[in-house]
Every structure is written in C-alpha cells, then in structure tokens.
Chain A
Amino acid sequence: EAQVTQNPRYLITVTGKKLTVTCSQNMNHEYMSWYRQDPGLGLRQIYYSMNVEVTDKGDVPEGYKVSRKEKRNFPLILESPSPNQTSLYFCASSFRRNTEAFFGQGTRLTVV
C-alpha cells in the first residue's frame, strides 16, 4: 500500500532532550516536507527536501533540523526541544514539487 509513515504517533518528552521523528514513504517521491499544525495558526511548513541531500528551510525552521540521506526517509530532528514546539507534526511527500501531496498520520508531540 502506498503510504507515508511517521513514528512515533505520540510522544511526551522533557525540555532539552533530543528527539527524532521519522518519516518514510514507499512511493519513490522526490519532494518531501514537514509541517506543524497549531490551533489558530493552521499548518505551516518547517523544512522541505527536493531530493536526496537537497534540503531547505520553510516558514518556521527555528529549532528543527532535517536530513535526506535516502530518497524514502526524511527525519525531523529536535536537538533541544522546548515547550513552544508542542504541536501536531505532519510529514508529506509528492512525486514532484507540483504534484499531489500525501500526508502521514501525524505525530502529536508534547514538550514539558
């Protein structure tokens, strides 16, 4: 089944403890991106990747890192999480930058 898989689905962590949210797609998509969804603010892009080893900042990149070493995987790294990064995170992929986007099931992160 074609899908975007994120893990974990839920995570509660403490301020400053490094964490990684994984994202994997099995559709051979070139373009991948991360969004966060917050009440009243909607979905905002954090980082995106046009292809392997090509990544760039989105609208709200502060406090996040990404890597794209393989085409299928695009992990989101929070080196020192803070409470303002408590949010619902989504990974998305598309074949190209101008084609249909598919989203993962989301990761609900709480930083205390």
Chain B
Amino acid sequence: KQEVTQIPAALSVPEGENLVLNCSFTDSAIYNLQWFRQDPGKGLTSLLLIQSSQREQTSGRLNASLDKSSGRSTLYIAASQPGDSATYLCAARSSNSNSGYALNFGKGTSLLVTP
C-alpha cells in the first residue's frame, strides 16, 4: 500500500525566505503527484499537478519537482509571505485499479510565515 510522508511536519520562517517542503512516496506506480494547500477549516486548493512523465511544474512563486524513481517530490516557495501560512499536502494518485485510483495523501506540513 502506498505510504506518503511529508517532512517537516511544521515549519516557521520569517517573511521573504525561500523554503522547500518535502514529500516522499513508497510506490512508484502513480499517475501523478498533486500539491494542495489547506487553510484552517477550509477545503483543499490545488496548487500544482505533476504528471508521472514530468519532472517539474511552476506556478508563480511555486515550483514543484518530481523524481518518480526515487519516490520524491519537493515544493519550493520563493519569497514567502504571511499569506502563504497554511498546511501543505502532497498526494500521489495511484495508477493501481485495486486502490481505486485514490489520491494517497501525506499528513501535511504546517507552514507559518511571520512578518
């Protein structure tokens, strides 16, 4: 069964810093990997999707990479802002029909950006 791990569990940085969030997964049989943002009591907002054949995706100050062979993905946030404070979740979409093509989520990294 796919296991997704996110490190660190929590992170506090001063405004303006660049930071990296890490995600690892145990089963390389994935369609894609998706990064989400979750604000307290709110839904999940999709940030970036990387297909299994891709290495990188960028959106504004966000850059996500994928190394399927080593089971790793990183989310890079440039010039962090207080508004970036949230929990960041990575999810690997299984390509295995036995798993229902489920999104397998990590437990998230809680990010706090201080002014």
Where the two chains meet, the residues of A that have a C-beta atom closer than 8 Å to any C-beta of B are 31, 33, 35, 40, 42-43, 45, 48, 56-59, 90, 92, 97-106, 108
Contacts and interface: CB of A to CB of B under 8 A. Distances in A.
The prevalent SS among residues of B at the interface is: strand
Contacts, number: 62
Contacts of B68: none
Nearest to A108: B41
Report the 4 A-B pairs with minimum CB-CB distance, sorted nearest first. A98-B31, A105-B43, A103-B44, A97-B101
B103 A45 contact: yes
A98 B101 contact: yes
Interface of B: 31-32, 34, 36, 41-46, 49, 89, 91, 93, 95, 100-103, 105-108
A98 B101 CA distance: 8
A57 B31 contact: no
